[in-house]
Amino acid sequence: MTIRPESLLCPRPEGLYCPPGDFFIDPTRAVERAVITHGHSDHARSGHALALATHATLDIMAERYGEGFAGRAQPLKYGEVLNRDGVEVSLVPAGHVLGSAQVVVRGKGMTIVVSGDYKRRRDPTCKPFQPTPCDVFVSEATFALPVFRHPPDTEEIGKLMKSVRQFPERTHLVGAYVLGKAQRIICLLREAGYDKPIYVHGALERLNAVYEAHGVRLGRLALATAEGIGDLAGEIVIAPRSALQDRWARRFADPVSAFASGWMRVRARARQQGGELPLVISDHADWDELTGTVAELRPGELWITHGREEALARWASLNGIASRPLSLVGYEDEDA
């Protein structure tokens, strides 16, 4: 009799569950034991009796939910192996945001890798995705359509820098997800040689501090909400996208609004939401990264958690890899 991987990890309404180890991965409801891949709110919820994650992820959760976000918070270093009732659990980098991890579950003679959200391209704010050979690879599919090919981020940052030079009398107001995208844009601007202070919305301040505490250098930052700073003509301001339409944004000098997201690849979305300068910058794998990763790992089975599952499943079957769409609910793409 062959052992099915579902005896090691199976989808439940709360999320992926490991029966022999009695824990969930990224559960969408409060549970006894949770292993958390990263700090985005759809993956990291508060109220678990035990939350196990990287140190950075736990710090991010404490920042967002307060110190009492879990009964007990247990940090696990990348590569450190935890043994739970014959099941080995370890975390390896996912390249998505600071602290993000893939969960490697070994037991019953097999290895399952739950990649959480991930990307393959370089990101100065986090460790790169580490490919881990496995029998089952569990992947997201947020951008799993051939139309999604994210351009190099240096190109997109170049567009922003060019616009700043072109319109020195205007404020550049960049809408970015507060965890990950905002800090990555700040680092990319620094790498492109932008060394002026970067102004940030108050919603970013504490997460920026967590990044700095974990060794990510963001350079000189200033609070865009401070009194008496004027209209910030010629400056770059980074804010959550929701703030771009706020009264708050009206104080700036004829702002050029720019929204940074993988969705900006879709022209209709870019027109509706992207502002004057849509930037295609994503923390999720694009079509080439998704298929390239699966081709590299060649797992016995590919499980697809959420997103555009059909196209990736079809690609897998054309390439001789069995796949199973899990259609997990509760994982939004707000961080894309």
Tell me how far apart the alpha carbons of residues 304 and 315 are, in angstroms, rounded to a whole number: 12
Nearest to 109 by CA among 225, 34, 3: 3
Residues of span 71-130 touching Zn ion by CB under 5 A: 117
b vs e for 99-134, b when ≥16 Cβ sit within 10 Å of the residue's Cβ?
bbbbbbbbbbebbbbbbbbbbbbebebbbebbeeeb
Q: Give whichever of 40 and 106 is closer to Zn ion, judged by the CB atom.
A: 40
Q: Give whichever of 40 and 64 is closer to Zn ion, judged by the CB atom.
A: 40
* Longest alpha-carbon distance in the chain: 73
Distance of CA 125 to the CA centre of its chain: 11
Q: Give whichever of 59 and 117 is closer to Zn ion, judged by the CB atom.
A: 117
Tell me how far apart the alpha carbons of residues 249 and 252 are, in angstroms, rounded to a whole number: 6
Find the shortest distance in angstroms from Cβ 259 to Zn ion.
17
Find the shortest distance in angstroms from Cβ 233 to Zn ion.
34
Find the shortest distance in angstroms from Cβ 102 to Zn ion.
12
The CA–CA distances, whole Å, from 130 to 93, 97, 116, 153 equal: 6, 14, 13, 20
78 close to 93: Cβ distance less than 8 angstroms: yes
Find the shortest distance in angstroms from Cβ 115 to Zn ion.
11
Find the shortest distance in angstroms from Cβ 65 to Zn ion.
16
Q: Give whichever of 115 and 171 is closer to Zn ion, judged by the CB atom.
A: 115
Tell me how far apart the alpha carbons of residues 93 and 85 are, in angstroms, rounded to a whole number: 24
The CA–CA distances, whole Å, from 299 to 32, 167, 184, 197 equal: 30, 50, 31, 46
Residues of span 301-320 touching Zn ion by CB under 5 A: none
Question: Which range binds Zn ion by CB under 5 A, 38-46, 156-164, 218-226, 260-268?
Answer: 38-46
Q: How many residues bind Zn ion (CB under 5 A)?
A: 4
Instruction: Say whether residue 170 binds Zn ion (CB under 5 A).
Output: no
Instruction: Say whether residue 335 binds Zn ion (CB under 5 A).
Output: yes
Find the shortest distance in angstroms from Cβ 320 to Zn ion.
28
Instruction: Say whether residue 40 binds Zn ion (CB under 5 A).
Output: yes
Question: Which range binds Zn ion by CB under 5 A, 9-17, 47-55, 77-85, 325-333?
Answer: 325-333
Question: Which range binds Zn ion by CB under 5 A, 40-48, 65-73, 249-257, 320-328?
Answer: 40-48
Find the shortest distance in angstroms from Cβ 114 to Zn ion.
12
User: What residues does 136 pair with on adjacent strands?
Assistant: 112, 301
Instruction: Say whether residue 26 binds Zn ion (CB under 5 A).
Output: no
Q: Give whichever of 123 and 335 is closer to Zn ion, judged by the CB atom.
A: 335
Helix, strand or coil, per DSSP, at residue 137: strand
Q: Which residues of the shown chain bind Zn ion in the complex (CB under 5 A)?
A: 40, 117, 331, 335
